[in-house]
């Protein structure tokens, strides 16, 4: 991983697309939609398989709604959001929203999903301490999730880590070549989403109850996403883009 924040005008390199399966692992419903779902729509239109693992159901995310009710609402919104971008395989791990902790239990959940889905690429959200120089601190669940993802994809390939999972035909999977981090302040790669930007907007708009619960009465998904997508597009040389930090798991081939 790079330790130097790129300048706002530094060109982005296109992410490779010679892969077939991806698994997105994030903390909450809406995490992928606040930046990455337009890229997912591009990939599913290409015929790639993309599955989602949500570690929580976002049940603590709506102040005016009891978690038992919010869990049902937010899971439904996430499934509707995924349908917009061509994703039908959506799982909720049931961990507790707002109090996720990096550690073996979280790594175990993610490693098991990696072993079942056998992805080429794993996608997650920004796990750095902030969203960039001078920005607000990142949320603790995001930080714990992304850091666990990096370790769990390696755990999944080691037969002797969480070996009790290896029953009923489940085998180790060391085929994840890269982890792509959406909304990272260290993004140096990007994906052209000029043709699927509207899908990304529509997928975010499906999180109606959550957005209303935040009190964002004037929130415009198109305006919010458009600012980031146009800026990334300028760096990639296209109309709209989604930026990612690329973390290679190959020895000696780090983010460049």
Whether 209 maps to a domain, the answer reads yes
The pLDDT value given to residue 217: 82
Phi then psi for 125, rounded to 5 degrees?
-105, 175
β-bridge mates for residue 181, sequence order: 124, 245
Q: CB–CB of 191/229 below 8 Å? A: no
Whole-angstrom distance, CA of residue 50 vs CA of residue 203 = 15
Whole-angstrom distance, CA of residue 132 vs CA of residue 80 = 30
Whether 130 maps to a domain, the answer reads yes
* Number of separate domains in the chain: 1
- Token pair for 46: 């290409």
Burial zone of 64 (CB within 10 Å; 0-12 exposed, 13-18 middle, 19+ buried): exposed
- Could you tell me the CA-to-CA distances from 24 to 53, 91, 194, 256 in Å, in that order? 6, 10, 21, 22
Whole-angstrom distance, CA of residue 242 vs CA of residue 135 = 19
Q: What is the pLDDT of residues 24-69, one digit of tens each?
A: 999 999 999 998 999 999 999 999 999 999 999 999 999 999 999 9
Q: How confident is the model at residue 255 (pLDDT cuts 50, 70, 90)?
A: low
Whole-angstrom distance, CA of residue 97 vs CA of residue 100 = 7
Whether 182 maps to a domain, the answer reads yes
pTM of the predicted structure, to 2 decimals: 0.95
The pLDDT value given to residue 8: 80
- CATH number of the structural domain spanning residue 166: 3.40.50.10320
Q: In terms of residue numbers, what domain contains 191?
A: 13-248
Mean pLDDT computed over every residue of the chain? 95
Q: What is the pLDDT of residues 106-128, one digit of tens each?
A: 999 999 999 999 999 999 999 99
Whether 8 maps to a domain, the answer reads no
Whole-angstrom distance, CA of residue 238 vs CA of residue 190 = 10
Q: How confident is the model at residue 253 (pLDDT cuts 50, 70, 90)?
A: low
Whether 176 maps to a domain, the answer reads yes
Alpha-helical regions (H) of 85-207: 104-117, 140-155, 197-205
Q: How confident is the model at residue 2 (pLDDT cuts 50, 70, 90)?
A: low
Q: In which element (H, E) is residue 90 found?
A: strand 90-92
């Amino acid at each position: 991983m790079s330790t130097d924040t790129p300048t706002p005008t530094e060109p982005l390199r296109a992410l490779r697309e010679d892969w077939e399966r991806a698994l997105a692992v994030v903390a909450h419903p809406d995490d992928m939609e606040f930046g990455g779902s337009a890229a997912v729509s591009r990939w599913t239109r290409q015929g790639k398989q993309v599955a989602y693992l949500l570690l929580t159901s976002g049940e603590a995310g709506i102040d005016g709604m009891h978690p038992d009710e919010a869990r049902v609402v937010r899971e439904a919104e996430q499934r509707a959001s995924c349908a917009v971008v061509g994703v039908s395989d959506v799982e909720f791990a049931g961990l507790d929203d707002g109090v996720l902790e990096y550690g073996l239990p979280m790594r175990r959940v993610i490693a098991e999903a990696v072993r079942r889905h056998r992805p080429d690429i794993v996608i997650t959200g920004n796990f750095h301490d902030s969203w960039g120089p001078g920005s607000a601190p990142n949320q603790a669940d995001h930080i714990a999730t992304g850091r666990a993802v990096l370790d769990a994809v390696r755990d999944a390939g080691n037969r002797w880590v969480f070996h009790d999972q290896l029953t009923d035909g489940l085998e180790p999977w060391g085929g994840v070549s890269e982890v792509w981090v959406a909304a990272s302040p260290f993004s140096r790669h990007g994906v052209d989403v000029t043709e699927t930007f509207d899908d990304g907007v529509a997928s975010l708009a499906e999180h109606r109850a959550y957005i209303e619960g935040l009190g964002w009465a004037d929130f415009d998904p198109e305006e919010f996403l458009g600012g980031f997508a146009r800026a990334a597009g300028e760096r990639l040389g296209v109309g709209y883009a989604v930026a990612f930090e690329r973390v290679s798991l190959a020895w000696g081939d780090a983010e460049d």
